[in-house]
Amino acid sequence: MLDGLEAAAQNGAKGEGEPQDGRVARFSIADLTAIRNLVRGGSVIDWHRLYFSDRGQVDRFLRVHEFDPESGQDMARLEALREQAVDYLERHLGFHIAEDVAERIPARDLLLVASQNGKRRTHACVVLKVMHVLQHLAGRELVNQLSVSADQIFHAIEDKVLRTVEEMKGAGCAIVEFEWSRKEPDSLITKLLAKRDNIAAHVYDKLRFRMITQSEDEIVSVLRELVQRLVPFNYVIPGESLNDIVDLDGFMERDPTLQRHLPQLLALSTVAADKRTPVVNEFSGPSYRVVNFVADLPVRVDKLLHRPPDDDLFMDNGAVVFVLTEFQIVDARTAEANEIGENSHERYKERQIMRVKARLAHGMKDDEDRTPPPLDLTGRQDGDLGHD
């Protein structure tokens, strides 16, 4: 039915748990393009193809999204999303989606079709982009229907990330320090007052995880494990990534096994979303360096609520919600330099506080200068002798 699809479907996921010295050789083009999206903060809506080579990679991608490829209910959810996407495209936008992409090919395999050459790739990409948006909207809608607190959902994400980090360490990732935090109310208020777009929904780092690796090159291996185990690269928030450390092209050029992927990776540079002005944090020190990105992490709430996935609550919107989560990754040498002088967190907070005070106090002195002196009981201003 599909060129190369059946052969690809026979291959399983590779590279799980391999030792450190073998991990670079295991990098696939799917890994590299996903990492690239993390550090550049692009939007997959602008992508023209995917890069999966076998069903093992597809299934790993689905698991990161909290879909179990072995679950009939989860695969039915994918089919429902595909049906909604095709209906929207044809009814609202006037697209005509090829019948095999619209119906016959399993929705799960559209990810492989979108990775192959040919007309069907374009159709599969269009359908998957709408499915991506529909699933995101459904997760947001589901949050409003839940009888659980934000604290419970945050706790579920924290547990999920902690388990994943332990798995990554077991797989050979040299993570020498790991910490996480939730932003306190005072910090949230200060950040909103300092931001030019001071809307609460735009605070992305209410939940933050920070990792320190042994070396700069190890950061790339950590990013690979994150996209394979935890972070859906397609739910990275566009325009919110900051990367002063990782030179992905240079990393690939230094390794003969990765050089073959460079042409495909460079082809992604034509994507319009990658031409935006790089993110700059105006309060950071002049030589502060970090890999920083924000992603909407999925978490299953049917497990959190101990309710079956076919419960009425989940019939329309599935069982997955999303939590905006910030990740910061640095190597040990850079982390040390980031705490010296103008780069330190204390100086960062001082600059932020100064901005907030200046914004709040703007115009105060002018108003004070224009305030008339108080009136006495006769209605005369102080200093006005008037008449007897």
Reported as a single tens digit per residue, the pLDDT across 127-183 is 999 999 999 999 989 988 888 888 899 999 999 999 999 999 999 999 999 998 876
Q: Is 142 helix (H, G, I), strand (E, B) or coil?
A: helix
Is residue 112 within 8 A of residue 8, CB to CB? The reply is yes
Main-chain dihedrals φ then ψ at residue 328, nearest 5 degrees:
-120, 130
362 domain-assigned: no
Average of per-residue pLDDT across 305-315: 81
369 domain-assigned: no
Reported as a single tens digit per residue, the pLDDT across 208-218 is 999 999 999 89
212 domain-assigned: yes
Number of domains comprising the chain: 1
Q: Which domain holds residue 99?
A: 5-345
Main-chain dihedrals φ then ψ at residue 331, nearest 5 degrees:
-90, 165
Tokens 């224009």 sit at which residue? Answer: 370
Could you give the CA distance from residue 92 to residue 84 in angstroms, rounded to a whole number? 11
241 domain-assigned: yes
Beta bridge partners of 212: 177, 330
Question: Which residue type is seen at 204?
Answer: Y
Could you give the CA distance from residue 60 to residue 63 in angstroms, rounded to a whole number? 5
146 domain-assigned: yes
Residue 233 Ramachandran class (φ > 0 left, ψ -120 to 50 alpha, else beta): alpha
Look over the chain and give the mean of its residue pLDDT values, rounded to a whole number.
Answer: 82
14 domain-assigned: yes
Three-class SS of 294-337: EEEEEEEHHHHCCCCCCCHHHCCCCCEEEEEEEEEEEEHHHHHH
pLDDT band at 376 (very low <50, low <70, confident <90, very high): low
The structure's pTM equals 0.79
92 domain-assigned: yes
225 domain-assigned: yes
Question: Which residue type is seen at 254?
Answer: R
- The H-or-E segment that residue 176 falls in is strand 175-182
Give the pLDDT of residue 316.
87
pLDDT band at 283 (very low <50, low <70, confident <90, very high): low
Is residue 237 within 8 A of residue 296, CB to CB? The reply is yes
Is the confidence at residue 16, as pLDDT, over 50?
Answer: no
207, two tokens: 């939940």
Main-chain dihedrals φ then ψ at residue 137, nearest 5 degrees:
-65, -40
Is residue 112 within 8 A of residue 5, CB to CB? The reply is yes
Is the confidence at residue 5, as pLDDT, over 60?
Answer: no
CATH of residue 222's domain is 3.30.460.10
353, two tokens: 């506080």
